[in-house]
Amino acid sequence: MQRTAIAAIDLNSLRHNLAISRLYAGDSKIMCVVKANAYGHGMLRIADALRDTDGFAVACVDEALELRRHGIQQPITVFQGFHNKCELETCVTHLLWPVLHHSFQLALLEDAAPALPAGVWLKFATGMNRLGFDSSEAKTIWQRLKSLNGIGDIRLMTHMARADEGADVDVKNDFTVEQINRFEIATEGLVADRSLANSAALIAWPASRAHWVRPGIMLYGASPFIEGRGPNLDLKPVMTLGSRIIAINHRKKGEPVGYGGDWTCPRDMRIAVVAIGYGDGYPRSAPSGTPVLINGRRAALAGRVSMDLLTVALEDDLPVAIGDEAILWGQGLPVDEIARHVCTISYELLCNVSNRVHFLYHGTNPA
Ligand SMILES: *Cc1c(COP(=O)(O)O)cnc(C)c1O
């Protein structure tokens, strides 16, 4: 039996968004970021549909291994690199490109030489200050790595902390410019490919594009910019999360709806019950008033979201019947808008869609 809650994944939209990324990337190569199960969209199906990209990127070795076992042949960058000797060996065997961000990884490489990865990224902290060697150490680390017998191509990267604040806002965000400069100065004279840009930087900061760009969220059709503080993008939503209305009930003015009874009917009205809840990944923190799309029109969430169900207030003139579809986000209702209501970002909503939801893929894969 087909489950009621459905995440419809439009692979044509995905490929459209890749084409948009390409327009911004110009001559830069693209590694499509498919970590966290491709932001909740299903990593292998997404990777298949993106097969004509220059490379992929994931967070950890396990994710990379899953891609290789599926037959993905392109370079795969592993953002966290290897955590131990065993993962280093996996990187070597499966031709992964681990990110080196800490001296414990250099020590592991020195022990393992000359059986070393065919490619590595050397990551420097320039302002994000989460993972990465200190920029001031760039030349020393480079030398230490270069002297290793058996090391493959070395590439250089950093990560932007505030590119999502956008370039065309009134208060110009100088932080990103500073990061780009710091990276340039630290790595000056080192002959290697470079990568700096996530989606936001790729779009808003042309100076960050370099040899490789790393778009993630934009591939899935959501905006990388906070509060719409970026250019209007021609991106298409890839995931449309929907479910069915399984009951419509008439309630009287003043009657409470849902756990806690903290929402009450402002007048006599119909309440639709939709078969989706936080057990499916719809956020429990969504407040009453969060939009839900029913038959092409916006209605408002009413009362608390529960595990399997949520309730929606229906305007009297909205034609609706049991069995109709309700869309929680996606086509016609941007996930960014829901994220704003929930005080989070689209990334978190998309990643949280649970495997109780039935995933349906449509659209074509590359030949
Ligand atoms: C997740 C990630 C990206 C992609 O970021 P988006 O904002 O989704 O484009 C790029 N680089 C690194 C290091 C990341 O961890």
Tens digits of residue pLDDT in 75-133: 999 999 999 999 999 999 999 999 999 999 999 999 999 999 999 999 999 999 999 99
* Ligand 1 centroid from CA 224, angstroms: 10
**End-to-end Cα separation, the chain, in angstroms:** 32
Which segments of 162-314 are extended strands (E)?
194-197, 212-213, 239-251, 269-274, 291-294, 297-301, 310-314
- Atom 15 of ligand 1, residue of closest alpha carbon: 79
What is the mean predicted confidence (pLDDT) over 298-315? 98
* pLDDT bracket for residue 232 (50, 70, 90): confident
Is 33's C-beta closer than 6 angstroms to any atom of ligand 1? yes
Ligand 1 and 79: CB distance under 6 A: yes
Q: Give yes or no for residue 231 having a pLDDT over 80.
A: no
- Determine the pLDDT at residue 1: 46
Give the Å distance between the CA of 200 and the centre of ligand 1.
9
Return the amino acid letter for 297: R
- The residues annotated with a catalytic role in the active site are 35, 259
The pLDDT tens digits for 36-54 are 999 999 999 999 999 999 9
Q: Which atom of ligand 1 is nearest to the CA of 79?
A: 13
Average pLDDT estimate for 342-348: 96
Output the six-digit token pair for 275.
């078969």
Q: How many CB atoms lie within 10 A of CB 252?
A: 10
What pTM did the predictor assign?
A: 0.96
Cα(55) to centroid(ligand 1), Å: 14
pLDDT for 167 beyond 70? no
| pLDDT range class, residue 366, cuts 50, 70, 90 | confident
Q: Which helix (H) or strand (E) holds 38?
A: helix 35-40
pLDDT in tens, 236-256: 999 999 999 999 999 999 999
Mean pLDDT over each residue of the chain, to the nearest integer: 94
Neighbouring C-beta atoms of residue 36, cutoff 10 Å: 18
Ligand 1 and 166: CB distance under 6 A: no
Q: pLDDT band at residue 165, thresholds of 50, 70 and 90?
A: confident
